[in-house]
A and B are shown apart, each in its own frame.
Chain A
Amino acid sequence: MNRMSVLVLGIMACFLTSWVGLAVTPYYQLGQLLPDTDDATGEQAPPGFSGRAEQGRAVYAANGCVSCHTQQVRFEGVPATGGPDIEREWGERSTVARDYLRDTAAYVGSQRVGPDLANIGSRKSPDSYKYTTAWHYQHLYQPQVVTPGSAMPPMRFLFEKRKIAGQRSHEAVKVEGEDAKCLHSDEEIVPTEQARQLVAYLQSLKRSSYPLPEVPTAPAATE
């Protein structure tokens, strides 16, 4: 190992293996996937994002939501239809590479301080208010009121306080608890354009609400 050339070439060769394996191979194996077309209806899966949702993706990225939220449903078992993620109803099936086909950037994440958001747009709750646009606004504005004990930072900077001009805005955030006391009766909290974009993005996250041939769906969900 005294020849510099041997050393340099050896290092490059070692590096090259993983470069080919984990940077170039994904490009060919996953980077050129095509949407799945339903023969009967001609609909394509996964569906695309609206322009506003795409702008919301940028808001999601800018504020580092990925620091605490994943966007992937993990599978377990053979066939892979079980596991706690499925039981928590974070998705009817696990997410696969093709589910991210329409994203400009995929934030699969590595921390679950909060719940997974892969399917936040299609999540159901017995409480009809939950997961509505108004709920999202309130949750972003005062997460500790919506979910007592939440570790989520209130995203106050995505909202603005203003005097009610004539009629109350239909988008005005339902402010409760301590925060309501700080609000005069002639004031309201309304979402900024960024908040609207972010909520549009969240509501379009429906990563496993359509079938794909390469992934089995949980038996319970097909009933």
Chain B
Amino acid sequence: MSVIVTEEEPVSSASGVTPAAVGEAATLIQSNAAEVAAIDRSVRLPVLLFFGAGLIWLLGGSLLHLLAAIKMHEPRLLSSVAFLTYGRLWPAANDALLYGWLSTAGLGLALWLAARLCRARLRHEGLLTVAWAVWNAGVLLGVLGVLGGNSTSFEWLEFPWYAAVVLLGAYAFISVWMLLMFRARREGNTYASLWYLLAALLCFPWLYATANFFLLFLPVQASAQAPVNWWFVHGFYGLWLTPLALAAAYYLVPKVLGRTIHNYPLAVLGFWSWLLFSGWRGGQSLVDGPVPVWMSSVGIGAAIFTIIPLVAITNNLFGTFRGRGDAWGWSPSLRFTHVGLLCFVAATISGILLAIRSINRVLHFTQMEVAWNYLALYGFVSMILFGAMYYTVPRLAGWDWPSQNFIRYHFWLCLAGLGTIIFALAMAGIVQGYGLRDPGVPVISTVQMINPLLVTRTCGVLLLGAGHLVFAASFVLVLIRARGGQPVTASDVVGGRRRAPAVATEEIQPTSATVEHAVG
């Protein structure tokens, strides 16, 4: 089924592959390099701005996370400073991650993908930077609002109402550009990547507006708030962050490998079933809780059914990878994407297990849920965002990554940090879970028992943060050197162990960066 093509060759449809089945790899191939370069150039400013702001939030959020992690085992630290109390730090750190890093960088990625997939040039990108500024102002307002004591204390919706209004306004502004690009679309076919992108872009405003409306602007009776809140949390992950990440994976994996996606019908099935089931998972977080039993039962059912999209999506993406383990060596974007997808598998399977009633009774309310969040948000979404940035940033900036070693350090620090955190918190969750199940064990004992594991987790957060710092440094170096204005040559990128043919396939292709530089 897979057709191996090089970037410059037109795809032969003689292989019996339907036009739509010709994966994302085809998009560029059929175009001429100059056009792609022009498209990339048209989005370079806003996309790099979104990425850059995302990275600042990632670093800021990591700092807040670190402080919160330390406070878990050193509660008396800085206890007289109101805005640094754990109950403000922790949501602020999470929201900085969710809205500041994942959503902001995700929006940059969405812009770039939309331009590439629609083969449309972005116009009036200067105005879009205003929307960028407003979006980031919204996140800043939100984080400061939470730290300043205006938290709503609704899970993942802690931002005070005024921040939510700013975010929604900025999003509406940004979506006008997206809409214009989709209208200008010239391709006859749609690709899996485009479906996911569209799903994310349509679901986010609906989700975020509904949740804020029902919980903050015109709050429903409190007895109805919990289901709405959990519908939002699962929707934010399943219908906003996941589609963004999968859009990137569906674009990059076939593209970098020069293949088509493995199985088109399965991609269709995976898409629709994921969309349908993840919206209904909210009840899994309210098992035995103060809601009608049907809600938790439906939530558990929907969680179990996500096995269908999981199989379809992973079969497709890993099928496209098959036999190309060598890509790990030469393509950082694929290495990160691959790990991200493995975490997606792990997160989906463990998400199903955590939903099952008998397991939920033990592990809900424990650090296991926090471990799951790290796995899903940092392991899956964040790693795929890194992978996508490794691909796009050199093309947009016209300069390759400064050092192979930086990429290697980033990768291994992230893996070591995440591994440590997830291991420690999962263990803590199990200890805590069985402790809380036993009425003979005082709650304070469960906290004392997990204390060493919480210290271990802090070490993991440090490692992860160091990884982020290395990546941010790489990013800044690319931008600084790109401003130097020397052309990218193959010698700049043949560093480390990368082999010559790989250079042509991945990081710097004549189709984008060099041509763009020649043009610009």
Contacts and interface: CB of A to CB of B under 8 A. Distances in A.
Contacts of A7: 190, 195, 198
Interface stretch (A36-44, A63-71, A128-136, A162-170): A63-71
A112 B448 CA distance: 13
A50 interface: no
Contact of A2 (B188, B225, B227): B188
Contact of B202 (A15, A88, A100, A111): A15
A76 B357 CA distance: 10
Contact of B444 (A10, A62, A149): A149
Interface string B209-234: 01100110001111111111011000
Contacts of B203: 11, 15
B87 interface: yes
Interface residues of B, number: 88
Contact of B447 (A1, A19, A113): A113
A156 B228 contact: no
B276 interface: yes
B155 A64 contact: no
Contact of A76 (B75, B288, B436): B288
A222 interface: no
A105 interface: yes
B31 interface: no
A33 B369 CA distance: 31
A162 B444 CA distance: 32
A69 B414 CA distance: 30
Is chain A's binding surface mostly helix, strand, loop or mixed?
loop
Contacts of A96: 290
A154 B203 CA distance: 40
Give me the 4 closest cross-chain CB pairs, A-B, nearest first. Answer: A64-B87, A18-B279, A22-B231, A103-B222
Interface of A: 1-2, 4, 7-8, 10-12, 14-15, 17-19, 21-23, 26-27, 29-33, 60-68, 70, 72, 74-76, 80, 83-84, 87-88, 94-115, 143-144, 147-157
20 contacts: A1-B268, A2-B20, A4-B182, A4-B185, A7-B198, A22-B227, A23-B227, A29-B224, A30-B224, A32-B221, A62-B88, A62-B151, A63-B85, A63-B149, A63-B151, A74-B361, A94-B290, A99-B290, A149-B451, A152-B75
Given A11-B203, A18-B280, A148-B444, 8 more contacts: A4-B190, A11-B202, A22-B228, A26-B224, A101-B221, A113-B447, A150-B447, A153-B71
